[in-house]
Amino acid sequence: MKVVQICKYRNTNVEGVDLFEEVLRAARDHWRAFYILNGDDGDLRERLGCETRTFHLSKSDIKRIRPSAVLKVLRALRADRPDVIVTHRIKPAVFAAWAALFLPGTRKIAVIHNMSEFKKPRRLWFARWLMRDWTFVGCSEAVRDDMLARGFPADRTVAIPNSVDQRIVRDHLMTRQAAREDLGVPVDARRVIGTVGRARPVKGHHFFIDAMKEMTDPPYVVVIGDGETLEPLRRAAAEAGLSNRLIFAGGRRNAYRYLSAFDALIMPSLREGLPIAMLEAIAAGVPVFGTPVGGVPEILRDPAWLFPKEDVPALRDKLAWLGDADQSALDAVRDAQYRVFEQDFSIERYHARFLALMEDRPLPA
């Protein structure tokens, strides 16, 4: 079997913990090629032991789906003659769908990472008409259910939940002291709560400010992530007098290495597919709490681990509990969540299910 995976870019923010790479690792006994539409291939060839193709398309080429750009991809596909094409996110899927019109007999798999990816009518129309023989993979049961509700065929729409390789996470964690020092947290702080995610409104980071303003002695909260709301959030935290307890640390390469700084991870998100940061935290031995959006309840199965989205009092109460809870209570949450991770989110299970899909076999339970 020959497998080609098409991505818009190579993920340069993380090394080792990356689902684009894990899909190809699942097919390690087969010929594989990694197509990258924009940017370089770095050391992917050496780390994954696969072929790579870089197209150096401009952002405009990709956004506008220029025919000349599609033709470049088609020429490479005709030369490689894959049995299976796997795409991640919408633009690579659109490129592959046009090219695949000239590649009869090739199996096509589109991995969908977000809720409401097909909310736009033209995307839904495109999928229904030009991707009729594709298989769609939701990164959670919630993402699959969202696609089914939009009319995707049940026999070609499956869920393969996200995963992380816990060995990579644990082997690369920083020491608690080093992580806290780099993030600007006192090394001896009794309780530090963290979150990891892009600084965007959908992540709900602004609710930390509203919740912590209502607390007399809030725990330290550290937000790791770059994005459009980073500087406004920093200013708002300073204006609220929270700069010494609410730290917007900005982005960090391989952010999962900093999980050792935290006593718990909390995500007040408004929308999620199935957050990798939660799985990384559980793999690192950090208990996790979050809002019941998207695939989050598939990980956080105890209602006590959840709190309503956009609910400042609920977030405040959860932060207060995390600040005061005995370590034994946090350890009990950690152990229960790890059992869920081992059962349903192990990297071995992820590999087995993707390999079966690429080989056109029934997915293992």
What backbone torsions phi and psi does residue 265 show, to the nearest 5 degrees? -120, 140
Average of pLDDT values for 19-36?
96
SS3 state at 31: strand
| CA pair distance 151, 154, nearest whole angstrom | 9
Burial class (CB in 10 A: 0-12, 13-18, 19+), 271: middle
Average of pLDDT values for 7-30?
88
| CA pair distance 158, 176, nearest whole angstrom | 39
Left, alpha or beta for 204 (phi > 0: left; psi -120 to 50: alpha)? left
Q: What is the mean pLDDT of the chain?
A: 95
Q: What is the 3-state secondary structure (H, E, C) of 221-280?
A: EEEECCCCCHHHHHHHHHHCCCCCCEEEEECCCCHHHHHHHCCEEEECCCCCCCCHHHHH
| CA pair distance 130, 126, nearest whole angstrom | 6
Q: pLDDT grade, residue 365 (50/70/90)?
A: confident
The stretches of 58-139 forming alpha helices (DSSP H) are 59-64, 67-80, 90-100, 121-130
Average of pLDDT values for 37-44?
93
Residue from 165, 196, 176, 349 nearest 267 by CA: 196
Write the pLDDT tens digit of every residue in 234-277. 999 999 999 899 999 999 999 999 999 999 999 999 999 999 99
Write the pLDDT tens digit of every residue in 160-192. 999 999 999 999 999 999 999 999 998 888 999
Contact call for residues 74 and 95 (beta carbons, < 8 A) = no
Strand segments, DSSP code E, in the chain are 2-7, 31-36, 51-54, 84-88, 107-112, 135-138, 157-159, 192-196, 220-224, 246-250, 264-267, 288-290
Contact call for residues 162 and 345 (beta carbons, < 8 A) = yes
| CA pair distance 22, 171, nearest whole angstrom | 17
Write the pLDDT tens digit of every residue in 87-101. 999 999 999 999 999
Average of pLDDT values for 117-133?
94
| Residue extent(s) of CATH 3.40.50.2000 domains in the chain | 2-163+346-358, 166-344
Average of pLDDT values for 118-139?
95
Contact call for residues 18 and 99 (beta carbons, < 8 A) = no
Residue from 287, 303, 269 nearest 341 by CA: 287
Tokens 């659109």 correspond to what residue?
94
Burial class (CB in 10 A: 0-12, 13-18, 19+), 239: exposed
Write the pLDDT tens digit of every residue in 317-335. 999 999 999 999 999 999 9
SS3 state at 39: coil
DSSP count for the chain of H helices, then E strands? 16, 12
Q: Is the pLDDT of residue 15 over 90?
A: no
Q: pLDDT grade, residue 16 (50/70/90)?
A: low
Q: What local confidence, expressed as pLDDT, does residue 282 receive? A: 98
Write the pLDDT tens digit of every residue in 342-364. 999 999 999 999 999 999 999 99
Write the pLDDT tens digit of every residue in 296-311. 999 999 999 999 999 9
Q: Which CATH superfamily is domain 166-344 in?
A: Glycogen Phosphorylase B; (3.40.50.2000)
| Edge-to-edge strand list for the sheet holding 107-112 | 51-54, 31-36, 2-7, 84-88, 107-112, 135-138, 157-159
List the CATH code of the domain at 2-163+346-358: 3.40.50.2000
Q: What local confidence, expressed as pLDDT, does residue 14 receive? A: 72
